[in-house]
Homo-oligomer: A and B are copies of this chain.
Amino acid sequence: MDKTGILERIRHLSTRKTEKMYLNDFLLTWNKTHDELQAVFDVAEILRGMRDNNISPRVFDSGLGISIFRDNSTRTRFSFASACNMLGLEVQDLDEEKSQIAHGETVRETANMVSFMADIIGIRDDMYLGAGHTYMKEVSQSVSQGYQEGVLSQRPTLVNLQCDIDHPTQSMSDALHLINTFGGLENLRGKKIAMTWAYSPSYGKPLSVPQGVIGLMTRFGMDVSFAYPKGYNVMSEVEEIARKNCRTGGGSFTQVDSMAEAFKDADIVYPKSWAPYKVMEQRTQLLKKGDQKGLLKLEASCLKNNKKFVKWECTEKLMETTREGNALYMHCLPADITGVSCKQGEVAASVFDRYRVPQYVQASYKPYVIAAMMFLSRFRNPADQLMAIMDRDQPRVGA
């Protein structure tokens, strides 16, 4: 995108209703309006265009972006750090092991204590069903209250970097990848996407990716075909949201029983392993109790059950059944690749490898999507700010 393209996109953005995003969190895509989602795509693309034109979008001369990762993470950690750095925030990691949180502090107290200079709080908490989203709401309420009570000089806004329910920075990056692959959001209408379970030799993978995808893609008029083996249900509330989305968005949401059915004539396929909702519920209980023996037993029984569905693999043969044998293969990465990262996994090596570059490109949107979410939560008039950045024309690299 050249500078003219950037300016045009800023004009588009200026027509969107984004007022409610200001000083608000980004926790679940389905709580955002269509205009708000499009504003995220706009800002992400504008920021990407600025980078290509060596224009620095730094809008914070100082300020902290706090990250709370309750699970290991490389790509999300780097995406968040990249987004913060791009806008001028410094990441400060709340490492719960190093902190005094274990010593009985309440969430409210800690949330306030770390937020005196915080503009953004990014949280990843996807381990426990029923916990991640709840924790984020608690942090959000704590800092809102702190701001109202005059404790905080600004109200930090939250970005959900993955919870038990949704993974909005992933699904929005996925959507942006589709938009750019198919030439525009309007071209997604009527496209068939197969979100399917796939076999993995590990267990306990979170539900937030499939849930995020069915909860978002159904809003763009897409035909979402959702396939998983018997028992591998996701949260029924999210399936309900997907169905509801179709009523207003004009797409469809169909639950089918095999990869074959889902892949048939699909324009896009997204085969990925996850744990059954019921297993995640049991696991949460066992983790809370610290029942190591129970956890090992659950793992063994799940892996055994998984093995029944070892044929749920994205093979070349299945790919041939997609639209013109040419569907776009997607994965949030890292994937379990048969014969590469494991003996038998989610996807055949040749399929994965053919789509390696598009997958990397898919991942490359995440820093911009996160930065866009941040940007829209910090500025009442984002288009004006972006115009000011263009006028300023500060190079990112070079004296």
Contacts and interface: CB of A to CB of B under 8 A. Distances in A.
Contacts of A74: 94, 98-101, 105, 110, 113-114
A59 interface: yes
28 contacts: A52-B153, A59-B397, A59-B399, A60-B397, A62-B87, A63-B396, A69-B98, A73-B99, A74-B98, A74-B114, A75-B113, A75-B114, A77-B99, A78-B113, A78-B117, A85-B117, A90-B91, A91-B92, A104-B336, A109-B333, A109-B360, A116-B363, A119-B397, A150-B361, A151-B357, A152-B364, A153-B364, A388-B399
A276 to B, nearest CB: 21
A75 B367 CA distance: 28
Contacts of A113: 74-75, 78, 333, 360, 363
A112 B360 contact: yes
Contacts of A98: 69, 72-74, 77
Contact of A392 (B85, B146, B364, B399): B399
Interface string A79-91: 1011001111011
A98 B71 CA distance: 9
B334 A109 contact: yes
Interface in A350-399: 357, 360-361, 363-364, 366-367, 378-379, 385-386, 388-389, 392, 394-399
Contacts of A392: 399
Nearest to A341: B104
A103 to B, nearest CB: 6
A189 interface: no
A113 B81 CA distance: 12
- Identical subunits present: 3
A73 B336 CA distance: 33
Interface of A: 48, 51-52, 56-64, 69, 72-75, 77-79, 81-82, 85-88, 90-92, 94, 98-101, 103-106, 109-110, 112-114, 116-117, 119, 146, 149-153, 333-334, 336, 340-342, 357, 360-361, 363-364, 366-367, 378-379, 385-386, 388-389, 392, 394-399
Contacts of A99: 72-74, 77
A66 to B, nearest CB: 8
A100 B72 contact: yes
Given A81-B92, A149-B357, A73 B61 contact: no
B60 A61 contact: no
Contacts of A72: 98-100
A394 B61 contact: yes
Given A78-B116, A85-B90, A99-B74, A389 B397 contact: no
A85 B61 CA distance: 9
Residue of A62, A378, A386 contacting most chain B CB atoms (<10 Å)? A62
